[in-house]
Amino acid sequence: MELNSKSLIENLIVKTYKIRLIMAPSISTKDEQKLWQLVQDLNATWVKGNPENLVNFFHEDMVIVSPDFELLGKGNEACMESYKDFTNMATIQDFKETSPAIFIFGNTAVASYTFEMTYIMKGETFHDSGRDIFVFTNKEDNWLAVWRSMLPLK
């Protein structure tokens, strides 16, 4: 079978299109939309200066780990305190969430998104970006975060 340049280009477009579909953010069902809204509400809570209200979003056994999976906080209160400590030290100038991906497996869900944040700490301005990853469990028709990590983007 002989391939000409047109068929090679068409083949490349199809392969590229399929790759883009696989890698595209996934929010298509009402449940995924509901969970994405929950993530946005969770972030708005601490960004707007109310980290103590995060206890309403976190499971009692919530865990936060560093990018290298070192334990940073365990338990609802300890995880909330880590956000509170950050917001007490930093003034958030801007926070954006993009490229969400939500995957639901029965009573478990994974939510990830890219973020960009600008904040001031000790008079210095910082710009951070990364990918947040949350794992949620559905308890009595209420999604609660049970695990979180953040991967910095370079």
Residue 153's pLDDT is: 83
* CATH topology assigned to domain 29-152: Nuclear Transport Factor 2; Chain: A, (3.10.450)
Res 36 pLDDT > 80: yes
Q: Alpha-carbon distance 129 to 99, whole Å?
A: 13
HSE value, Cβ hemisphere, 13 Å, CA-based, for 93? 12
E strand intervals along 67-123: 71-74, 90-105, 108-121
Q: Strands 143-152 and 58-65, how do they pair?
A: parallel
User: Which pLDDT does position 94 carry in this prediction?
Assistant: 96
| 17: confidence class by pLDDT, cuts 50, 70, 90 | very low
For 89-142, how does the pLDDT look when each residue is reduced to its tens digit (9 = 90+)?
999 999 999 999 999 999 999 999 999 999 999 999 999 999 999 999 998 889
Q: How confident is the model at residue 10 (pLDDT cuts 50, 70, 90)?
A: very low
Mean of the per-residue pLDDT values of the chain:
86
